[in-house]
Structure 1
Amino acid sequence: MAKNFFSKRNVNFLLYEVHDVESLTQHSYFADHNKETFDMTIDTAIQIAENLMFPFVKDVDKNQPELKDGKVKVHPSIKNYLKAVGESGIIGADFDYENGGAQIPVSITSAVGYILMSANNGMMYIGLTSGGARLIANFGSDDLKKAYIENMISGKWQGTMCLTEPQAGSSLSDITSSAEPQEDGTYKIRGQKVFISAGDHDATDNVIHLFLARIKGAPKGTKGISLFVVPKYRLDGTDNDVTSMGIYHKLGQKGVPAMHLGFGDKNDDCVGYLVGEPNKGLSYMFQMMNEARIGVGLTGVSITSAAYYAALEYAKERPQSRRLNAKSALETPQIPIIQHPDVKRMLLFQKSVVEGSLSLLLETSKYFDLAEASDDPEEKENAHLLVELLTPIAKTFPCEYGVKSINDAVQCFGGYGFTEDFPVEQYYRDIRITPIYEGTTGIQSQDLLGRKVTLGGGKAMKLLAEQVGKTIKQATEYEALKKYALLLKDSSQRLQEVTMHLLGIAGTGDVERFLSDATLYMELFSLNVVAWQWLKQAVVAQEKLQAANNDADFYESKIHTMKYFFHYELPKTQGLATRLTDTEVLTIMTDKEFVM
């Protein structure tokens, strides 16, 4: 079993040296906090991760949830974990005081989420609960807030997102779940939902579903969808006619039950409580979905982190063969495989993905904090636009490149990596769902190209370009980084040219052609954004080295990994740009391509 799953030194570097999260305390909303309270929150998470989560990684995977007599039983360690995070205040730490939170920045709770999920992503429960509770806090009535929030953020009750239906999938406009108004102001709920993570289990006393349905007589399509709180048990303890119809047996993340749920199927007696106004449910739910997308990105980087540190540890300890230039190979002892160039290349790739992705997620989280807390209207608006633009990338890159990274982690172990004797085979299974969760890569890519690049009339893209330009300017002040500043400048120009080319196609009205290679555009954009994050880290590292810092090895490692990303990963943008500006269309279906 690996000993490490994350680096606290790297978390501190990104939070305090690169992103200066401590500066958030200048805003009145966060004024009660300082670095000490942030560190206490992180240290609490580390204790829970090390003692209640990491020791059970394999056991939670092997002893997956079971549905017996209509009840779902999960691994007993999950109950202990949920009790601990509830009592520590972690679940609602970033809620406001009014709703029982501590007004901790999302930047800090994102780091906390990374630590917890790196320890054991089979305990991926609290993000769903906090997201559901936040929806109630933002849009629910005072009665709903009083009835549900406290028990959810204390870990006593589980929260879920109930969106997907068997016939609709990601196409939410096609949902058929219904809500019929009752005389007492409640609604009778009917319908089925599938793939509901943590949809039922025995580690909490109740499960609170945030449920999309169409009120009878509502308009068709997405405009007629409303949001409801549908508890497993009503407040008086009455069973609410929510039936666990089955558990999906998954490739990975087996500690979290993915449920097929029936609402009102058994006794036609399922009660729901409207959140906010009728027919606005999808706009409310998108708040939770955007949070969840950042959460999925964190899940991706967390699993990738655990796999990387396992591979790194193995590569340092596993002796095999000799250096290629050794003159008398058989007369010299074998060397640790980390000394072989190909293994070092794979480890550098993993390190670049983990630390680049985490930096991007913390950057996005900081903009989220500024959008919520800034007293300056312009800063607030700009931060909101940057969150909107970066969210699909922050969800997609850590997951898609995480899959590739863990593929290399398995390769570092050789044949052992394919066995259950080492943890990476589990991580390889666990991460594969993340490019699918909360909108597939294709959906995120179409959102990025089809909506986000033109957000605010192009203002979001302009703001991002200004931020990247600022980092490029800082990097040019250091002789050692000038080369990389110019590489990012050239690559950013290439991204702009591709974007204008594609928007030109959009202007012709041929939407299908415009978006046909959106996933490739996502990769092009993501590589540029992560290169920016690496140059940002390198600027800080170079500054520290020139100040003769005692942590020279750490900072030199940062610069070396930045160089790897710029020499091995960023050049891929050239091939992507070539394809994205190619006039030959090959993926639009004509019914002739797949003749058997």
Structure 2
Amino acid sequence: MAAQYIDFETLKYFLYDLHGLEDVLEQERFVDHDKESLDLFLESVKEFSDRELFPYFKEMDEKPAYHKDGAVHVHEQVGVMMKKGGEMGLISGTFDYDDGGLQLPMMVYTASAFIQDAANNHLPGYVGLTLGSAELIIHFANEELKSTYVPKMLSGDWGGTMCLTEPQAGSSLSDVVTKATPTDEGYYKISGQKIFISGGDHQYADNFVHLVLARIEGAPAGTKGISLFVVPKKRPDGSGGLTPNDVTTVADFQKLGQRGYCTTHLGFGDTDDCRGWLVGEAHQGLKYMFLMMNGARIAVGRGAAAIATAAYHASLQYAKERPQGRKLTSAGKKDLDQGQTLIINHPDVRRMLLLQKTISEGSLSLVLLASKYYDLKETVKDPKEKEKYSLLLELIIPMVKTYPSDMGAHAVSNGLQVLGGYGFCTDFILQQYYRDIRIFPIYEGTTGIQSLDLLGRKLIMENGKALEYLTAEVMQTIQNASNYDELRPYAGKLGEKLQLAQKVITFLTGFAQKGDFERFLADATPFMEFLSTITMSWLWLDIGTHAKKTLVTGQKTYSEDFYESKIHAMKFYFKYELPKVNGLAEILTDEESLTITGEKEIFH
């Protein structure tokens, strides 16, 4: 039997029926693709994941990446991932034909990467980071750099990384001190250190192309003075060979989870012979990097959604097989004459499983929607439509990265609880999913940073225009749901929460209007949870409405139970999750401030 770590039917239902991939395929860029060919692609990715990813998931945790003699050693499946990733278009998929790509929609790439992430989240990052760094070179570097580095990266022969973080800087990129000194020979001498570099070194790539943020001597202070450089581990020697480029692998971090996905500490220029080539214009490095960040943040949300999904299926399988206890009789007592019942029959276990289902499937819907906005903003011709999808994407991106990560970890925790004591033991896989997902609220800007971005930038950008677009989308779903008696009460509840959101936003933006920005942003993280929960309720109402419409019209692709299960999950989310926004609203509109630094020291 094929490995059960995702529900392929739900993935295809969300991709085609719910989010309308075929609307995206109507765009000129994707004219060569159709549903049948893309189905074949996704099925080949699933078959590859079943064979080469999922069987090695536990083993990669038990035999983690390690540093020895100046190099990082990783599991042999990393070599398979790089080679097959190149052959199957898992690195180049979304790129232009002219750049060696397949011009796949981001929606399809996201779906394919979701399958891989769910099968084994330790492996897709190696090709994902190579894709991201190649994308930066394609978009912003000159033709010489593109022709020198990109083909070998897209084939999987060379790896790629993005080097932002430094030991003293963390998330504060304005404090980057890695130095770039110009020479007369067209390159810069690079010196400094970078930490937490995912996929930064291993034995299964002939070379690594590091995209490094550094400061040219004399550059302005802060983020305005940061430039982007191509810094290979080995540089071309001019005669078809490669020579060492004074890039040192200092260490590999030993981690709580994702132990098979190496995370390196790199040194540049220890012997003053590290050469880097400027990408684009000087002092524009952070701007270039952040233009790619939407894709990176979709990828983090996607990865977290995938782990939560795999954990759900593992705990669901256990609950269907594990007998324990007995069902209560009508008298409220256990009938000891009856045999033990499977734990999936206990209401509290069902509650935990439904929580996992609604968080994981809702998160998948969210990342696919973001991918659709990404595709349409890039391809639609109408300026008004382009603006709409661009602003919608900008607004939801912090939630796309954060909700699957934070709530995914909560979902996996509930999955572990379903197994009870066994969930805490290494004999069962839930404890590994629990450890693996914990990094996702930290990747690509922590929850706190994403929350500041959502409240402090995205919500108020262009005088709240993005929020107007999102509100219109939600209202359309409420209107559609109101056509069905069964769904009308849920549409009403979501409408009430929209009004509550307006009240909360008005309260908080009042501080910004008075210039009290610290108070405005002090509770950005509770606000993230507040708005994300409302957004997810919208997505679940949309899922429920689509499922109900399908049942009413009888135009079913899947079984009746499939659609009924989606409606049931929607109702669960509205009962158990949506009401939490009332408490969050109370927190957010409380006048008292308890977290801003004052005259008295409160920590002793």
Whole-Å separation in 2 of the counterparts to 1:363 and 1:325: 45
- Tell me if 1:122 matches 2:122: yes
5 Å-filtered alignment, 1:98-247, equals 98-123=98-123, 124-236=125-237, 237-247=242-252
Give 1:183 shift.
1.0
**Of 542, 558, 565, which aligns to 2:573?**
565
Deviation at 1:32, TM superposition (A): 1.0
Which of 448, 453, 457 aligns to 2:454? It is: 448
The 10-residue stretch of structure 1 (198-207 or 306-315) with the greater mean CA deviation from structure 2: 198-207
Shift, 1:287, TM fit: 2.0
CA distance in 1, matches of 2:489, 2:463: 33
Partner of 1:62: 62
1:118 CA displacement: 0.4
CA distance in structure 1 between the aligned counterparts of 2:582 and 2:530, rounded to whole angstroms: 9
How many percent identity over aligned positions? 51
Give 1:591 deviation, angstroms.
5.6
Q: Is the 8 A contact 1:311 1:409 kept in 2?
A: yes
Q: Is the 8 A contact 2:6 2:313 kept in 1?
A: yes
SS at match of 2:266: strand
Is it true that 1:295 corresponds to 2:317 in the alignment?
Answer: no
Alignment correspondent of 1:325: 329
1:373 — aligned with what?
379
| Structure 2: distance between partners of 1:591 and 1:14 | 53
Which position in structure 2 is the counterpart of 1:594?
Answer: 602
CA contact (8 A) 1:160 1:196 kept: yes
Q: Secondary structure at the match of 1:64?
A: coil
CA shift, 1:592, in A, is 3.4
CA 24–2 in structure 1, closer or farther in 2 if over 3 Å, else same = closer
Match of 1:80 in 2: 80
> Is 1:31 matched with 2:59?
no
Q: What corresponds to 1:552 in structure 2? A: 560
| 1:261 equivalenced with 2:266 (yes/no) | yes
Find the residue that maps to 1:371 and give its secondary structure.
helix
- Unaligned segments of structure 2, at least 5 residues: none
Which of these residues, 508, 521, 525, is aligned with residue 519 of structure 1?
525
TM-fit CA distance, 1:112: 0.8
TM-score between both structures, scaled by the size of structure 2? 0.97
Q: 1:595 Cα deviation (Å)? A: 4.4
Letter of the 1:90 counterpart: L
Q: Is the 8 A contact 1:2 1:423 kept in 2?
A: no
Q: Determine the C-alpha separation between the residues in 2 that align with 1:159 and 1:89.
A: 16
Q: Deviation per CA, 1:89-141, whole angstroms, max 9, x where unpaired?
A: 12111111111111110011011111101000111212111111111111111
Aligned residues: 595
Point out the more displaced range, 59-68 or 272-281.
59-68
Partner of 2:509: 503
- TM superposition outliers: structure 1 runs of 4+ over 6 Å: none
Secondary structure at 1:116 match in 2? helix
CA distance in 2 between counterparts of 1:143 and 1:98 reads 15
Look up the match of 2:403.
397
Verify the 8 A CA contact 2:2 2:50 in the aligned structure 1.
no
The secondary structure found in structure 1 opposite 2:518 is helix
- Shift in Å at residue 328 of structure 1? 5.6
Corresponding position of 2:434: 428
Cα shift at 1:502? 0.5
Distance in 1 of aligned mates of 2:603 and 2:202: 47
Alpha carbons 1:471, 1:535 under 8 Å: kept: yes
Displacement of 1:290 after TM fit? 2.4
Residues 371, 379 of structure 1: 8 Å contact kept:
yes
Query: Following the alignment from structure 1 to structure 2, what is the Cα–Cα distance between the partners of residues 586 and 104?
Result: 49
Q: Which residue of 1 aligns with 2:282?
A: 278
Q: CA RMSD in A?
A: 1.3
* CA deviation profile, 1:60-81 (whole Å, cap 9, x unmatched): 1111112111111100011112
Return closer, same or farther for 1:222/1:43 CA change in 2, 3 Å cut-off.
Answer: same
1:306 counterpart SS class: helix
**1:509 & 1:381 partners in 2: Cα distance?**
29
Kept after mapping to 2: 8 A contact 1:296/1:395: yes
Q: Equivalent residue for 1:339? A: 345
Separation in structure 1 between the aligned mates of residue 539 and residue 190 of structure 2, nearest angstrom: 46
- Hey, what's the Cα distance between the residues in 1 that align with 2:133 and 2:595? 38
Tell me, in whole angstroms, the C-alpha distance in 1 between the residues paired with 2:601 and 2:57: 45
Whether the 8 Å CA contact 1:163–1:193 is kept in 2: the answer is: yes
In 2, the alpha carbon distance for the partners of 1:250 and 1:234 equals: 31
Q: What is the rounded CA distance, in whole Å, between the counterparts of 2:448 and 2:232 in structure 1?
A: 33
Relative to structure 1, the CA distance from residue 87 to residue 595 in structure 2 (aligned partners, 3 Å threshold; closer, same or farther) is: closer
Q: Closer, same or farther in 2 for the Cα pair 1:399/1:595, shift >3 Å?
A: closer
Q: Deviations over 1:363-401 (max 9, x none)?
A: 010000001111111111111111111100000000000
Match of 1:314 in 2: 318
For residues 462 and 35 of structure 2, what CA distance do their matches in structure 1 show?
35
The aligned residue for residue 252 of structure 1 is 257
Separation (CA, whole Å) in 2 of partners of 1:305 and 1:25: 27
Which residue is 1:477 aligned to? 483
